[in-house]
């Protein structure tokens, strides 16, 4: 595993390149220092069907995030810093414990701040018997060179593509460069994983799923994301169109336009657009998924 010029101290692991001296205890913009922090490690059944299956995805929620969207449903851990410290060796054990519990895969949620250590833990776990596919579940705001170094370590990318419009990217994530960064990262994800592959039960073994969370009043942005992904990659990338945006109280001041749920009409218009475009490989959501009850308890389970 050659990380070349990538380092977490001074940190240049993500497009922010904040240069924090994390080994000296300084926190980066991701709110992470040099210690891996995990908020929860448990079977999770609220992912796409080909990821969670019947047994559940072995999901590991890491604390901190390099993007920090104002509407994040995992705000408690991404911005609040909640999480228990673990070593690389303990993280490898957690992966193996999830495998013993019947997990369909190992699902790494926002591993970006610790990516070099997480990669080391995956390799260590494989030496000790880990055979499950590894899922990288991130924001899409990644460096291509980081993705390149994860070839052979990560099997599946369950990645967000939040914005094709730099205006909301700047307003909600302080990342006006998000569209171009996400395009470059996605290209590397597809290159390193290849075409999607599934086992006999329909569980994904390798490939890329691009998630897009529809924000209230942002159908145009959603259509642009769908069009770009489909016209660029066709059936080589699965789309997952999410209607689960949750309007938290903390958004009432400062972001009043985000103070409501996505309407059924808004979501159906976006799904219809994808169908009319010719998208076949896609997941959609039904019913009222915009509930805080869908957010797991970040209580240190399994850590």
pLDDT (tens digit per residue) in 81-90: 689 999 999 9
Tokens read off for 13: 């692991």
Decide if 112 is inside a domain.
Answer: yes
Q: What is the pLDDT of residue 291?
A: 53
Confidence of residue 9 (pLDDT cuts 50, 70, 90): confident
**Predicted TM-score of the model (pTM):** 0.95
Confidence of residue 33 (pLDDT cuts 50, 70, 90): very high
**Whole-Å CA distances, 252 to 8, 70, 187, 266:** 35, 11, 36, 21
Beta-carbon count within 10 A of 191 CB: 13
Beta-carbon count within 10 A of 297 CB: 10
Decide if 24 is inside a domain.
Answer: no
| Residue 135 near residue 161 (C-beta atoms within 8 A) | no
Decide if 223 is inside a domain.
Answer: yes
Decide if 48 is inside a domain.
Answer: yes
- Of 90, 157, 144, 148, which Cα lies nearest the Cα of 117? 90
Full residue range of the structural domain in which residue 142 is found: 36-294
Decide if 215 is inside a domain.
Answer: yes
Q: What is the pLDDT of residue 287?
A: 66
Decide if 5 is inside a domain.
Answer: no
Q: What is the CATH number of the domain that holds 131?
A: 3.20.20.70
Decide if 9 is inside a domain.
Answer: no
Decide if 66 is inside a domain.
Answer: yes
How many Å apart are CA 95 and CA 99, to the nearest integer? 6
Q: Is the peptide bond before 10 cis (omega within 30 degrees of 0)?
A: yes
For residue range 247-286, what is the model confidence (pLDDT) as tens digits?
988 898 899 999 999 999 999 999 999 999 999 999 999 8
Tell me how many domains the chain contains. Answer: 1
Confidence of residue 293 (pLDDT cuts 50, 70, 90): very low
In this predicted structure, the answer to whether residue 292 has a pLDDT above a threshold of 60 is: no
For residue range 35-83, what is the model confidence (pLDDT) as tens digits?
999 999 999 998 999 999 999 999 999 999 999 999 998 888 887 668 9
If DSSP codes are grouped into helix, strand and coil, which group holds residue 89?
helix
If DSSP codes are grouped into helix, strand and coil, which group holds residue 275?
helix
For residue range 162-215, what is the model confidence (pLDDT) as tens digits?
999 999 999 999 999 999 999 999 999 999 999 999 999 999 999 999 999 999
Residue predicted with more confidence, 6 or 211: 211
In whole angstroms, what separates CA 184 from the centre of its chain? 16
In this predicted structure, the answer to whether residue 290 has a pLDDT above a threshold of 60 is: no
Residues of the chain above pLDDT 70, percent: 96
């Amino acid at each position: 595993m050659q990380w070349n010029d990538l380092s977490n101290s001074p940190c240049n692991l993500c497009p922010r390149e904040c240069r924090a001296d994390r080994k000296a205890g300084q926190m980066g913009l991701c709110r992470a220092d040099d210690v891996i922090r995990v908020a929860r490690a448990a079977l999770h059944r609220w992912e796409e069907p080909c990821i969670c299956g019947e047994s559940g995805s072995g999901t590991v929620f890491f604390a901190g995030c390099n993007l920090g969207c104002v509407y994040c449903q995992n705000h408690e851990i991404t911005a609040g810093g909640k999480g228990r410290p673990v070593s690389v060796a303990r993280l490898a054990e957690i992966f193996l414990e999830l495998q013993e519990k019947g997990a369909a895969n190992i699902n790494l949620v926002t591993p970006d701040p610790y990516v070099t250590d997480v990669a080391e833990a995956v390799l260590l776990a494989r030496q000790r018997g880990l055979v499950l596919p590894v899922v990288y579940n991130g924001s899409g705001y990644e460096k291509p060179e980081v993705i390149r170094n994860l070839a052979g370590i990560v099997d599946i990318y369950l990645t967000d593509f939040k914005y094709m419009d730099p205006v909301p990217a700047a307003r909600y994530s302080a990342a006006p460069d998000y569209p171009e960064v996400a395009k470059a990262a996605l290209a590397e994800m597809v290159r390193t994983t290849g075409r999607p592959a599934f086992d006999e039960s329909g569980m994904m073994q390798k490939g890329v799923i691009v998630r897009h969370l529809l924000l209230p009043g942002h159908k145009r942005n959603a259509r642009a994301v769908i069009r770009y992904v489909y016209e660029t990659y066709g059936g080589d990338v699965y789309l997952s169109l999410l209607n689960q945006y949750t309007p938290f109280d903390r958004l009432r001041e400062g972001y009043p336009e985000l103070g409501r749920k996505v309407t059924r009409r808004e979501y159906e218009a976006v799904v219809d657009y994808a169908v009319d475009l010719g998208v076949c490989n896609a997941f959609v959501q039904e019913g009222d998924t915009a509930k805080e009850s869908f957010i797991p308890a970040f209580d240190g389970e399994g850590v």
